[in-house]
Structure 1
Amino acid sequence: MKTTAARGSLPRLVALWALTRTALMLCVLKVVVFPGPDVTSDVSVIYRGWYDVLRTGTFPLDDITWQYPPAAALAVLSPGLLPFLEYATAFFVLALVADLVTLALLRYAGRGPGRTHAGAWVWVAGVPLLGPTVYARYDVMVTAVAVAALLAAARHPRLAGALAGFGALLKVWPALLLLGMARRRAWVSAAATGAGVAAVFAALMPGAFAFLTFQRDRGTEVESLGALVFHVARHHGWQGEVLLNYGSVEFLGPYVNWVSTGALLLSGAALAWLVLWRLLAGRCEPHTVADAAFVAVLLFTTTSRVISPQYMVWLVGLAAVCRSFRGSRMGLPVALVLAASFVTVLEFPVHFDHVVASDGLGITLLVLRNGLLVVAAVVAARRLWCATVPLPAPLPRQQAAPSSEATVSS
């Protein structure tokens, strides 16, 4: 009966995916104009410029907006696989393919005991909540690699480790997937893959690790949690400004460095908590690897100096993997992330001018989106801890001494 129901849901799943993805493609191809600033300029201008430089065998050394690990070059160069299409169109098509591959992985993962197809539905419903930005960045490609790594962890730890290591050289954050992988083979495979790929890029293309300096010098982006301080401060005489800096819209001015440092300290505290959890966790179930990855990425996204809209694609992908396991306790945090995704498309691109202006609508949207992420992070971390860290053994009871009355009566 369950098998029949699952098969019956497949046409509905595919139909919803086709409908929503057609809408996204119409937006990025500009057949339909989506409200707000043009989100496709990153591909048609910035990625296209990087493509021309990368084809010469070097990284864009003089461009501070290149803030990505060396394997990101593969994503930027990938439209060359479709030479019969214009660069931006080819990129959007490949993003669509990565989206479809992710759906196929989640659908396949939903089969078998202890599994559910809810993860595939989370992906199908969650991605369009973010609007056309999903296809106008290469994050959906990285997310496909991360989803494959998590789904391979149970039966193929070496493959999972290799995918996580490769993903880390695409956009760093997939390294967090290793936190929940207890098998040594996964870590060794990740290290070997990462070192090998990094060595190849370092040997063949100058400037493979220039991105580390560019990332270090970033400030506080206007959509981040820390930016709320300056959104409010602008109404009370703060003398800073909002400018395009290091490829994103950031606050510049007095005390910005303090808030940026505070964000780094929060991320450090999140890392310390994750390491402590890893040392104390004593129970590992099939869904633990996915839950741990979701919590780790959620913590780092929420505390980051930058919360770009495309970061939410990572969370939707990891949330979908969690919901592919019946035993996962991440139901509420996943729902909160989906709600935050919908608010995200409202603050960017729909009402981004209000965010930049720090007016009432812009601040309200940021408080709501970032508030949802904070609550999701706290709830998810608590549930992961309670599900995996055993309670301390109760102290043995001491036998009560006989009372004086009992002594007298005896």
Structure 2
Amino acid sequence: MVWCLTRIVLLLFVFKVVVFPGPDVTSDVSGIYQGWYHTLRDGTFPLSDVAWQYPPAAALPILSPALLPFLDYASAFFVLACLADLCVLALLAVAGRRPGRSPRGAWVWAVGVPLLGPTVYARYDVMVTAVAVAALLAGLGRPRLLGALAAFGALLKVWPALLLVGTTKRKPWDAAAVTATSLLLLFVAMPGSFAFLTSQRDRGTEVESVGSLVFHVARHYGWEGEVKLNYGSVEFVGPYVGVVSTAALMLTVLAFGWLLLWRLRARRFAPHTLADVAFVAVLLFTVTSRVISPQYLVWLIGLAAVCLVFRDSRMSLPTVLLLAAAFLTVLEFPLWFGHVVASDALGITLLFARNGLLVAATAIAALRLWRDTVPSAPPAPEPGRAPRAEELIQPS
């Protein structure tokens, strides 16, 4: 009932039966996506549009409204986004009824998604999240399906590749390699199939990212830069933007290094570990990114929901912080996005609060993952005394 009521409200917003305050978030569908749709139907990627920065399989959700030819493009897209949303709820609800599981995951999804407002149905990220949720829930009993779905998700929007970080088996990686190769062969004949590998090279610092806070504050002290629509998003342009963008990339490299260290040190793998690692990994790469668009939180809510399907997951507090960040996200975009762009007191306060919650959620989630999976070193024996047998046994 909660899902039905909240989704009816979201549909009323995207169909403009009720007008949501702020900029029109549906314009990307009726304008950008529909333009890409016509280009993709001609057998080529929209390379002339700098906003196209996606892997080749992203063509599938853009073309998907053709499945509903009796509706116009935007209406069909909204309906399909809602169906993807429903699929996620069904997956979480069914998984939550098994032994050792919990309905908390379904509740997180039902309550968390509408906190982001109509943006959820005006981007294709909810479809990608549905693939990621299905992959993680399949991970325990069907490792090959995990790998295949993770690879498919990665060719939709890259980040689902992180779902494989926590797996300890070879089968998911083999399935991912086969799936990715097969899908790439389907698109290789289309011009621009691999353009996404370099399309974000010249991206700047987007106004909602963690790094943007430097420039929001600097504007009040005479910084000479400005805000412009650049590469499909609103970014800062001006002195030192390149330095901050490079610093963000370095932090992403450090995040990858931490994940590698965790993978080498982790010894305790429980049923919930795969989902917990995926959640932490995507959190790390989100907060260190040069861009934090509102739809990024759809990914995080989906992963957090899978974590809480497992009763033993320790991601409850990070999930609460994430839901609070989602509510602040709809306030900063689209409701008061003008204040964010202007870097006024309200805009800066919203961004500090939202990004602070995301950073806190990331730090707490990473710490809990480490403590849950990495055994602590045994205490050193006292001088002159031989260690007892139990001191020599590492936790399994």
Task: Classify the secondary structure of the residue corresponding to 1:243.
Answer: strand
Task: Tell me how far apart the structure 2 counterparts of residues 163 and 213 of structure 1 sit (CA, whole Å).
Answer: 24
Which of 2, 18, 40 is the aligned partner of 2:26?
40
1:343 equivalenced with 2:328 (yes/no): yes
Q: What does residue 355 of structure 2 align with?
A: 370
- Using the TM superposition, give the Cα deviation of residue 295 of structure 1 relative to its aligned residue in structure 2, in angstroms: 0.3
**Partner letter of residue 132 of structure 1?**
P
Q: What does residue 391 of structure 1 align with?
A: 376
Task: Classify the secondary structure of the residue corresponding to 1:76.
Answer: helix
Q: What does residue 167 of structure 1 align with?
A: 153
Task: Tell me how far apart the structure 2 counterparts of residues 92 and 325 of structure 1 sit (CA, whole Å).
Answer: 31
Q: Percent identity?
A: 71
Task: Tell me how far apart the structure 1 counterparts of residues 109 and 142 of structure 2 sit (CA, whole Å).
Answer: 23
Q: What does residue 117 of structure 2 align with?
A: 131
- Using the TM superposition, give the Cα deviation of residue 210 of structure 1 relative to its aligned residue in structure 2, in angstroms: 1.1
- Using the TM superposition, give the Cα deviation of residue 244 of structure 1 relative to its aligned residue in structure 2, in angstroms: 0.3
Q: What does residue 193 of structure 1 align with?
A: 179
Deviates more, 1:110-119 or 1:351-360: 110-119
Q: TM-score, normalised by structure 2?
A: 0.96
Q: What does residue 53 of structure 1 align with?
A: 39
Task: Tell me how far apart the structure 1 counterparts of residues 202 and 80 of structure 2 sit (CA, whole Å).
Answer: 31
**Partner letter of residue 184 of structure 1?**
R
Task: Classify the secondary structure of the residue corresponding to 1:213.
Answer: helix
Q: What does residue 249 of structure 2 align with?
A: 264
Task: Tell me how far apart the structure 1 counterparts of residues 187 and 169 of structure 2 sit (CA, whole Å).
Answer: 28
Where does 1:228-377 land on structure 2 (aligned, <5 Å)?
Answer: 228-377=213-362
**Partner letter of residue 44 of structure 2?**
T
What is the number of equivalent residue pairs in this alignment? 386
**Partner letter of residue 317 of structure 1?**
G
Task: Classify the secondary structure of the residue corresponding to 2:227.
Answer: strand
Task: Tell me how far apart the structure 2 counterparts of residues 72 and 112 of structure 1 sit (CA, whole Å).
Answer: 33
* Deviation beyond 2 Å, 4+ runs, structure 1: 393-400
1:154 equivalenced with 2:140 (yes/no): yes
**Partner letter of residue 115 of structure 2?**
L
Which of 65, 75, 92 is the aligned partner of 1:89?
75
Task: Tell me how far apart the structure 2 counterparts of residues 196 and 258 of structure 1 sit (CA, whole Å).
Answer: 39
**Partner letter of residue 395 of structure 1?**
A
Structure 2 unmatched ranges of 5 or more: 386-396
1:187-238: CA deviations, max 9, x gaps? Answer: 11111111211121113x1111112222111110000000000000000000
- Using the TM superposition, give the Cα deviation of residue 111 of structure 1 relative to its aligned residue in structure 2, in angstroms: 1.4
Task: Tell me how far apart the structure 2 counterparts of residues 194 and 167 of structure 1 sit (CA, whole Å).
Answer: 10
Q: What does residue 6 of structure 1 align with?
A: none
Which of 8, 11, 14 is the aligned partner of 1:28?
14
Structure 1 unmatched ranges of 5 or more: 1-14, 401-410
**Partner letter of residue 368 of structure 2?**
R
Deviates more, 1:313-322 or 1:210-219: 210-219
Asked which structure has the greater CA Rg, the reply is: 1
Q: What does residue 65 of structure 2 align with?
A: 79
Task: Tell me how far apart the structure 2 counterparts of residues 290 and 297 of structure 1 sit (CA, whole Å).
Answer: 11
Task: Tell me how far apart the structure 1 counterparts of residues 48 and 114 of structure 2 sit (CA, whole Å).
Answer: 35
1:263-301: CA deviations, max 9, x gaps? Answer: 001111001000110111000000000000000001111
Task: Classify the secondary structure of the residue corresponding to 1:71.
Answer: helix
How much is the aligned-residue C-alpha RMSD, in angstroms? 1.0
Which of 47, 54, 59 is the aligned partner of 1:68?
54
